[in-house]
Amino acid sequence: MSDSRMLRQLKFVLELDKLKQVMRRNYVCGGSRRENSAEHSWETALTVLLLAEHSDVPIDPLRAAKMMLVHDIVEIDAGDTFIYDAQGRTEQQLRETRAADRIFSMLPEDQAREFRDLWDEFEAESTPESRFAKAVDRLMPMLHNYDTRGKSWREHDLDRGRVLQVNSKIGDASTTLWDYAKSVIEKASEEGLLRKD
């Protein structure tokens, strides 16, 4: 095992630190500050492990958790794109692909390939694991929004229909979680945390 292999790995690990400075639009519970993408990745990885049984089809929970650990690394260069920002999302794919090219290539070739494949799979939503990971990636900010009395929803003047539409991806992976998510969105709408459509 060459020293340079280990040094490349450690350089990459320190590069990851930058994800702690990427701020998302949603808030931590309680609403005291915005959430960063590193802590969001931790939370969603654990959530995937705990909720895996609710996937409509069987998934490998650890594989999906690994995907969650990796899914936002590209934001180190590309920044966070708000899921309700249609224009930002058009350019997002290009920015994130460039970021993936640069960041993952810092790793030794075998690990670069492994991480890139995992991120590509997440983006393509081509497997049960990636669909479940995407569902949890939607579910958590939605629950944080409800917890903070719709703080981020209200800041972006979102209505019930738009929130239902964007979060419907949850239903691609889990009928149970989507039923629950819909009930939270309806409650939020009734409580005035979301604009009526």
Let me know if 116 is exposed, middle or buried by CB neighbors in 10 A (0-12, 13-18, 19+).
middle
Indicate the residue among 20 and 89 with the shorter CB distance to its own copies: 20
Q: Confirm if 114 and 21 have CB atoms less than 8 A apart.
A: no
Cα dist from 83 to 39, 59, 153, whole Å = 18, 25, 11
Residue 82 carries which DSSP code? -
Coil, strand or helix at 128: helix
Site string for its own copies, 52-91 (x = CB under 8 A): -xx-------xx-xx--xx---------------------
Residue 12 makes contact with its own copies by CB under 8 A: yes
Candidate list 23, 31, 49, 95; residue touching its own copies; CB under 8 A: 49
Residue 94 makes contact with its own copies by CB under 8 A: no
CB of 90 to its own copies, least distance (A): 29
Indicate the residue among 114 and 172 with the shorter CB distance to its own copies: 114
Residue 20 makes contact with its own copies by CB under 8 A: yes
Q: Is the dihedral of CA 65, 138, 41, 11 positive or negative?
A: positive
Residue 126: how many other CB atoms lie within 10 Å = 11
State the residues that interact with its own copies by CB under 8 A. Answer: 1, 6, 9-10, 12-14, 16-21, 28-30, 32, 35-36, 38-39, 41-43, 45-47, 49-51, 53-54, 62-63, 65-66, 69-70, 107, 111, 140, 143-144, 147, 176-177, 180
